Amino acid sequence: MKRLLAVWLCILMLPISFAAAEAEEPDRTEPDVPDPNWVLWEEPDDTVEAFAQERVSVTFYGMRPLSHYAQVFTVTDEDLILAARVAYLEAGGTNERAYRAVLCVLYNRCVAPRFGGEVTDIPAEAYRKGQFSVIHHKGFKKLEPPEAVIEAARDIFVYGNLDLPENILFFCAARLGKGWGGRRFYKNIGGNLFFYGSVD
């Protein structure tokens, strides 16, 4: 009889134990001040799925990480417009793949120690002597690139969504051929030939 009474008392105590355990559950709410290396976004995209696979909780917080470049430098709207001007003219205003490829080369140069000896910035690389001939075009500084090209620059420089490998550092017009400068050829994108370079 005593054993039966003991079992019955244990059963009655179970809900109390669970309630106590729930009360001790640590607070897992989002912190009020987000990490400065993360930025809010407006709409989810493929990044959500990519990070979900890595078990990073960006889906719940509506955040996505800044690129390495944006963590090191403040990227201004003027910088993005400058990058968009270069890409739009170098790609001949052709298509998205073409101007994104040029933007990726500009990005790669900004973060490659080979160019400038350290991480540099968009103006330094855009105006580097003997690199982007379009900066000498009449009206270059007044050109208003299409919004789509500016947003592509933001996608690459702020969010780090690159289309090309980090060691693609050179390109030329297709008419110059794949043997241009003795560099190793990568691929033809929108009428420009892209080449590998050393990032060190």
What does the pLDDT look like over 10-58, one tens digit per residue? 555 555 444 444 444 444 444 444 444 444 444 444 444 443 444 333 3
Q: Each residue of 89-121: b (16+ CB within 10 Å) or e?
A: bbbeeeeeebbbbbbbbbbbbbbbeebeeeebb
As a whole number of angstroms, the distance between CA 73 and CA 83 comes to: 15
CATH of domain 73-196: 1.10.10.2520
* Burial class for 198, CB neighbours closer than 10 Å (0-12, 13-18, 19+): exposed
Task: Please state the domain extents for the chain.
Answer: 33-65, 73-196
Among residues 183, 94, 84, the alpha carbon closest in space to that of 126 is found at 84
Among residues 52, 156, 144, the alpha carbon closest in space to that of 110 is found at 156
Q: Say if CB 146 and CB 157 are below 8 A apart.
A: no
CB atoms within 10 A of CB 169: 23
pLDDT for position 134: 94
- Read off the pTM: 0.69
- Which stretches of the chain drop beneath a pLDDT of 70? 1-63, 116-117, 200
